[in-house]
Amino acid sequence: MQVAPAREAQRLSAHAPTVIPIHAVTPGSVSRHGTPRCSACSMRSICMPPELSADELAKLDAVICTTRSVKRGDTLYRAGDMFQSIYAVRVGSFKTVLMHRDGREQVTGFQIAGEALGLDGVCGGNHNCDAIALEDSIVCIIPFAQLEAICREIKSMQHHIYQMMSSEIVRESSQMMLLGTMTAEQRVATFLLNLSRRFKARGFSPAEFHLRMTREEIGCYLGMKLETVSRMFSKFQRERLVHANGKTVHIVDPEGLAQV
């Protein structure tokens, strides 16, 4: 590999995300030497294929060696930024946003702990959306070039990356169907049940959870006005399908909500 000239290296550095030293963030699955470790992470069953051996996990530990802390409202990356890494959400949650020419924003997704960010940059070498923290969050930084090298050695990891990319295609197709064919009532019900399934997969309660996004952001994602989202929550509450107290949502009747 050729070493970039000093000027090029400075340019790349200017576009690279600021990395917060791991000893400055809340310790979780972090080694005594201050390095995040996939082998000890509680999110490993979500982020990684389950059949990895100890040697394979050690190789991944060597690649994923830094984390970044992102404050609520701050961006992890912006549209147009050079693509260098993908990110695994270790703690917290994010929204991805596309900006219209007139300044309006379109929320394209919400990512919670154990999910990936940044795959949008693989295609053209630049990110095509903004990733914004919905709360104080921590991500693991995975340099994509090193990940590709690991995938050549570990076929199960390669297959896992393919699955991640495929799930993005499926998610976007589902989003198109949601926006194109569902009523407002069905959109909100689908949104809540989707979050419920994702929280359950991470060992959290599928029936009661805290929404980090605002009603307005939910509406922006579902193609609805804020007033319509609030009206749907009120309707579900009257029908005793859901109980909402501020941002805390309790799904009272999941089967009834699924029938919607």
Backbone CA torsion sign across 82, 88, 93, 98: positive
Q: Are 95 and 132 in contact (CB under 8 A)?
A: yes
Rounded distance between C-alpha atoms, residue 58 and residue 142, angstroms = 14
- The predicted pLDDT at position 65 comes to 65
Rounded distance between C-alpha atoms, residue 71 and residue 76, angstroms = 9
How does pLDDT run across 168-177, given as a tens digit for each residue? 888 888 888 8
Residue % of the chain over a pLDDT of 90: 51
Pairs from 210-217 (Cβ < 8 Å, separation ≥ 24): 210/247, 210/248, 210/249, 211/247, 211/248, 211/249, 212/92, 212/93, 212/134, 212/135, 212/247, 213/93, 213/95, 213/107, 213/110, 213/134, 217/95, 217/107
More confident residue, 168 or 219: 219
How does pLDDT run across 131-152, given as a tens digit for each residue? 999 999 999 998 999 989 888 8
- Same fold for the pair 6-155 and 182-259: no
Kindly write down the DSSP assignment for every residue of 193-242, as one continuous string. HHHHHHHHHTTS-SSEEE--S-HHHHHHHHT--HHHHHHHHHHHHHTTSE
Q: Are 86 and 55 in contact (CB under 8 A)?
A: no
Strand partners, 250: 208, 243
More confident residue, 17 or 232: 232
Rounded to two decimals, the pTM is 0.80
More confident residue, 148 or 62: 148
- The predicted pLDDT at position 58 comes to 82
Mean pLDDT of 25-45: 54
Kindly tell me if the per-residue pLDDT of 28 is higher than 80.
Answer: no
Instruction: Tell which CATH classification among 1.10.10.10, 3.40.50.970, 3.30.390.50, 3.40.50.300 matches the domain 182-259.
Output: 1.10.10.10
Kindly tell me if the per-residue pLDDT of 11 is higher than 50.
Answer: no
- How many residues in total does the chain contain? 260
Side chain identity, residue 146: Q
How is domain 6-155 classified at the CATH fold level? Answer: Jelly Rolls (2.60.120)
How does pLDDT run across 86-134, given as a tens digit for each residue? 999 999 999 999 988 887 889 999 999 989 999 999 989 999 999 999 9
* Annotated domain spans of the chain: 6-155, 182-259
Cα three-residue angle 18-132-38, rounded to 5 degrees: 60
